[in-house]
Structure formats: structure tokens, C-alpha cells
Chains A and B, each alone.
Chain A
Amino acid sequence: MGATGTGGAAFWATQVRAMLGLELKKTFLRARALPVVLVALLPVTLLALRAVVHPISGGDPAPAAEVARVYGHIFQLFFLRLVVFFGCFGIFTYLVRGETSERSLHFYLLSPMRREVFLAGKFVAGLVAAGALFSVSLALQLLLAFVPGVTTNGTGYLFAGPGAGHALAYFGVTLLAVVGYGALFLALAFFFRNPMIPAAILLGWEWINFLLPPVLQKVSVIHHLQSLCPLPVDRGPFALPAAPTPPALAVPGVLLLAALLLWTAARRARKLEVTYAGD
């Protein structure tokens, strides 16, 4: 008989590790990942410009609390809603659609791998790549937002004051967003040949979330993520007030949604066929 392999968690873990190594090589550590990296670095670029321009223009350093409030808006309205959303779209849909467009899906499907493990491997690879990318972006954003000379006692606020707790919360929310949006886009990629259209609809739904009745607001990823953010943001005069979901519900809620989406995608993956000509 051929290669060893008995199934079970250890065997599947080995397969997922092998997939992770391959995905990092062929997908993420390559030039084609550059657009996603640039998207992730957009807020960093804006904050870097501020850090450079503000002292030159002779502006006084802003109080740390004020900067924290403004950064809360940047994080929720720009980083979370757009950067992480589109970044996850690019990363997780490519993990599946890239295999068919590059006609390399058979490499995986010929191995003795359960389709569920294939899905898990893809998800883990996406999590590692997106998690690392957006965490680095977030860390740079925070450092630049509270850089001395631009923010009064910024480093003290960030490392010894309430900013440390906020930063931890932002990292947690970012990783949870990667889990939620990642599962969503991975599932979309299994169901749609062109996941762009459902993703656009989803973006619209997430974007108008604050205008929806409170019950419908909770039927979204962004509502739960925003509920976990340390500082509230002003959502404008047209926003319908909805009570934030408690962390004890928001975190399991997003994780449960992700699990449900992955389970659905796994059922689809069982029927995956190699028909490149049709793609």
C-alpha cells in the first residue's frame, strides 16, 4: 500500500500544516498578494502622513483622549468596514477561486484528504495570512496615531494608560472580524463562480447597518464587532439606536456564524469537481 495515514485529528493536522506551508508559498508570499497588502496599509499611510505633516505645519499635539476618540472612528468606519472587509474578500475568495483559475485544484483533490480538511486548511491559511497582515497594520496604526509630537503623552496613553486595554480590544476585534468575514467569503467562493456580486450585496448590508431597525442590525457581522469596540462612535443623525450586543454573546455569535458557514461550505466541498473548462 502507499503512504501511511490513519485519519484522525493528528493526521488531519499534518495535512493542514502541509497546506499552510504551500499556501503561504504560492499565494501570500508572492507579488500577487501586493494589492491586499496595500489595502491593509492604507490607514497606516494616512496616519503616517499625519505624523509627518502635523509637526511640519506647526500644529499642537492633540490630547491622547481626543486622538483615541478619533482613532475609534477610523478603526470602526474605515479599517473594519472597508480595509478588513475587502482584505478578507481578496484573501479568502482567492484561496478557492485561485485554484480553479490557475487550474491547480487537482493537486489537492488527488491527495488522500477529506474535503472538510481541505476547507479547514484553506481557512487556517487565510486566518494566518489575514490575521498577521491586519495585526501588523493595526499595530502600525496605533503607534503612528499616538506617536510623540503628534499626540500629547501618546506613548504613556498607549502603553500604560487606558490605551493598552483599547489596543487589546482592537486586536481582538480585528481577529474576530477575520474569522467572521473569512468564513463568509470562503463560503461564498465555494458557492459562486463570481463571488464579487454577493460580496457587494453583503458590503451594502453591512454599510447601511446603522440605518436598519435594531433587530435587523443584529443580523450582521459588523454590529457584533462594533459592540466589542472599546469606544463608541457617532453614527450620524439618521442612525437608529440599537443596544450593543454583550461580549458574552457577540464573540460566540460571530464564531457560531463562522462555524455554520464553514459547515455549509464543507457540504459543498464534498461535491467539488475538477472541471476547469467550465470555470
Chain B
Amino acid sequence: MSGRADRIVFAGVSKFYGEVLGVNRIDLEIGPGITSLVGPNGSGKSTLMNLMAGLLAPDEGRIEVLGLGADRPEELGRLLGYCTQFDSYPRGITGWDFVYLYLRLHGLGRAEAAERARAAIERVGLTAAAPRRIAAYSKGMKQRIKLAQAIAHAPRVLVLDEPLNGLDPLARAEALDLFRAEAAAGKHVILSSHVLHEVDELSDRVVLVHGGYVVAEGAIEGVRDEMAAERPLQVLVRCPEPGRLAARLFAEDHVVEAQIDPDRRGVRIRTENAERFYLLLNRLAAEGAVEVEQVLPADDDVQSVYRYLIGGQAQGAS
């Protein structure tokens, strides 16, 4: 147990809603930093998050959050903050009360709860709107007040279900900064998002979820490497003589495709062995056999990985 005291662990977890599959046989360990759950609607991301937060109980398997069973809400609530996807609030409640009363439910005294509520609301930039009823908030403001509630008690684990939905670009940038700051403080930040390029930039690791199963997990590059045998890596090499480079690379058995770019300023190469390819390219450049201007991983981002894994549905998710 002690080795898992800094991890969120899913061990053989399944959850069904009646006969409908939520998630199935999930084995997953999540450490500190930013972890993104990526998948289309209905893939099981929110179910995983609700299980993590103790809002759902697994039908099979076991969940531990920093060594704590998810079936102990009285302790779990202290170390976990959850910005849910539910867009519903206690009737008639103001933004201030939403955060303040939540802190009171943590057993805090009035003064401390008020101080923490003020700080959290200020952090998400909603101080002026706090006395107003949430029902009158815009979508983005609702997202921000939920975020304030999630961070108000300074949890060690922050679970954020589609936290960027409805945020304008400025608020989105501020939210991303907030997530990075929380992760930099050694916390676990687990978020789900359909904004794949933002997840790509933000995440230390990704968990790709589809149809209730985890289909891949790890650092973006790691996930990509795991798949290389099944799906070759694609690299774009910018160079003044793409034909020459393509001809040279075709001689290698790990290169399955070399396609000259339409602008004739580069070659798109698909290889089954990234390491051998990069060694070769370095050698050719060092020998002066080819002139290399730029090397770009053409599909090393989450969206490409995701598209590989679950096909056309990734388009809808992006």
C-alpha cells in the first residue's frame, strides 16, 4: 500500500449501468503531474472520474486514491477536488455560497471558509460575480465557479471533467496556467478534454479511452512508440533535395514509405523503427550526404495517436 500512497490505482475495475457498459477491466496507475483522459463521448472518461471521486462504486475491482479506498468518502473528499461535468447546482445558490458552503461542509469555521472561498474565487477571476446567482452565469462562468469549488480546499488530487468547455481564450489560458501550477506543486491533476491539441501541450501523460476500455496510456511519445510495430511512425524531413533523401531511405528495411511533400521541400517518411531511422538520418547529415533543414514528428501528437487507435471517431472528438 505504501508504494501506492502517491498514486491513483485502478485494479481490474468494471462499472456497468444496468446492462450498459461504463468501463471494463480497467488497470491503471496515475502518478503526480497532469494526466489527460482522452476519448469520444460515452467512452468512459466521466465514469472513470466519478469512480475516482467516489460518486460511483465499481461493480468489480478496487480503486485507491493515494492509498485511500474510494469507498471512504469522508476522507476522500478532503484530498480530492472534482470539477464535474454536471451543469447543475443547488437551487438558487450564489457563486459565493457554492464555494463557501462547500468549505463549511468540510468542517471549516466561518472565517476560514470565507477566506478560502475568497481566495479560490479570486483565483478563477469571478470575484465581482460571486454574489450573483449561478443560474444567471454564462457557461464559462459556471465552469470557473466549479473550478473554484474544486480547488478551494487545496486538494492533493484535482479531477477536472472537460474543464475547458465554454471558456473564452483568455479564461482558457488562465485555466491552463492554473492546472500547470497545481501540477508543479506536486499534485495529481487529471483532466478530460476534447480539445486534443491543448491536452497534447499540457499533459505529462495521456490515457486513451474508448468503448469503456483503456486502449493506450503513457507519455504521448511512449504511447506512440508502443504502437510503432503496428502503425509506423511518420516523420517529415524538410530538406532542399527530397528526391535524393527519399531514394537513400528507401534502401532501409524499416522504412515503409517515403513520400515527397507536395511543395517539394520535404519528405514524409514512415518507419517501423524510430531509433534506427534517426540514427541513419543523423549519419547521412553528418556525412554530408543530405542537407537536413528540419525534422518534424508528423504524427507524434495526441490527436494522431488517438486517430490511429480509434479511427474516425477521433475526428468527432476533436
Contacts and interface: CB of A to CB of B under 8 A. Distances in A.
Given A2-B79, A106-B84, A15 B107 contact: yes
A111 B53 CA distance: 10
Contact of A1 (B73, B82, B154): B154
Given A2-B79, A3-B106, A5-B106, A114 B91 contact: no
Contacts of B89: 104, 107
Interface in B109-141: 109, 112, 116
A15 B156 CA distance: 21
A234 interface: no
Nearest to A271: B57
B55 A115 contact: no
B88 A104 contact: yes
A31 B149 CA distance: 27
B73 A22 contact: no
| Interface hub of B84, B89, B105 (most chain A Cβ within 10 A) | B105
B165 to A, nearest CB: 17
Nearest to A12: B107
Contacts of B190: none
A79 B40 CA distance: 56
Nearest to B94: A25
B90 interface: yes
Nearest to A11: B107
Contacts of A27: 91
Contact of B90 (A26, A114, A274): A26
Contacts of A14: 104, 107-109
A278 interface: yes
Contact of B153 (A2, A30, A275): A2
Given A21-B101, A274-B56, A275-B56, A1 B79 contact: yes
Contacts of B106: 2-5, 111-112
A140 B108 CA distance: 39
Interface string A27-45: 1001010000000000000
Given A3-B78, A111-B77, A273 B57 contact: yes
B104 A18 contact: yes
Interface in B49-65: 50, 53-57
Interface size, A (range) = 35 or more
Interface size, B (range) = 35 or more
Contacts of A109: 54-55, 73
A270 B155 CA distance: 23
A116 to B, nearest CB: 9
Contacts of A32: 91
A191 interface: no
B155 A111 contact: no
Contact of B107 (A3, A30, A102, A273): A3
A107 B84 CA distance: 10
Interface string A236-279: 00000000000000000000000000000000000101111110
B74 interface: yes
B101 A18 contact: yes
Interface in A172-189: none
B55 A110 contact: yes
Contact of A110 (B56, B82, B154): B82
B56 A19 contact: no
Contact of A18 (B18, B50, B79, B105): B105
B102 interface: yes
A276 to B, nearest CB: 7
A69 interface: no
A26 B55 contact: no
Interface in A115-140: 115, 117
Interface string A95-114: 00000001110111111111
B74 A114 contact: yes
B92 interface: yes
B78 A5 contact: yes
Given A4-B108, A25-B93, A112 B103 contact: no
B182 to A, nearest CB: 13
A198 interface: no
| Interface hub of B75, B79, B104, B116 (most chain A Cβ within 10 A) | B104
Contact of B91 (A104, A108, A117): A104
A55 interface: no
Contact of B92 (A17, A26, A115): A26
A14 B78 CA distance: 15
Give 3 closest A-B pairs by Cβ, nearest first: A112-B77, A18-B104, A103-B88
Given A4-B108, A22-B90, A112-B106, 12 more contacts: A3-B108, A7-B74, A15-B104, A32-B91, A104-B90, A106-B55, A106-B84, A106-B86, A110-B77, A112-B78, A115-B73, A273-B55
20 contacts: A2-B153, A2-B154, A4-B106, A4-B112, A14-B108, A18-B104, A21-B101, A22-B93, A22-B101, A26-B91, A32-B91, A106-B86, A109-B55, A110-B53, A110-B55, A110-B77, A110-B80, A111-B106, A271-B57, A276-B88
Interface of B: 17-18, 50, 53-57, 73-82, 84, 86, 88-93, 97-98, 101-109, 112, 116, 153-156
